[in-house]
Amino acid sequence: MNLKILSLFAAVLLVAACQQSDTNKGAVQGGGQTPPTSTGTNTVQQRLAEAGNTIYFALDRSDITAESRQVLVRQAAVLNQNPSVTVTVEGHCDERGTVEYNLGLGERRANATKQGLIALGVAAGRINVISYGKERPVDPGHNDQAWAKNRRAVTVAN
């Protein structure tokens, strides 16, 4: 557990260092002007989408994979740059399983994502969770590909 937290912390520091370097480049290339920043929900939502606002899960699982950790690092970087923004992490499931089971699984997925963001420095009070279970599929198909797309947690700016 400690190794995971240390790895996440190191990744955040790496991303922060890279972003600081990119910001400085933009100021020099842009004639000394720094790009405008906005903490508006739309802008933050766009940045989250660009960073990857969706974490995908294996069947009947709520654990964060190594690939998902990279997405969380990018999400946390956006949120840490916009400290006044709150988000809701929406937990989703595929169509298989009962309504009650999928609501619980969706909540576990949303909470796993929340805990990952907290470990990366985002304040817990800025993150809400909700489970939609199987009620909001992104792909209405009835096959493995569709089900894989629907097993997810989506971070949405409020």
Write out pLDDT tens, residues 93-148.
Answer: 999 999 999 999 999 999 999 999 999 999 999 999 999 999 999 999 999 999 99
Decide which of 21 and 75 is more confident: 75
Confidence (pLDDT) at 95: 97
Tell me which residue of 146, 125, 119, 145 sits closest to 134, measured CA to CA: 146
For residues 108 and 140, is the Cβ–Cβ distance under 8 A? no
How far is residue 5's CA from residue 95's CA, in Å, rounded to a whole number?
Answer: 33
What residue type is 107 in one-letter code?
A: E
pTM of the model: 0.74
Average pLDDT, integer, range 33-51: 69
Instruction: Check pLDDT > 70 for residue 21.
Output: no
Tell me which residue of 153, 131, 136 sits closest to 58, measured CA to CA: 153
Q: What is the pLDDT of residues 43-69, one digit of tens each?
A: 899 999 999 999 999 999 999 999 999
Sequence spans of domains, the chain: 2-31+39-157
CATH topology of domain 2-31+39-157: 60s Ribosomal Protein L30; Chain: A; (3.30.1330)
For residues 149 and 47, is the Cβ–Cβ distance under 8 A? no
Partner residues linked to 90 by β-bridges: 130, 154
Q: What is the pLDDT of residues 79-93, one digit of tens each?
A: 999 999 999 999 999
Q: What is the pLDDT of residues 1-11, one digit of tens each?
A: 544 544 544 44
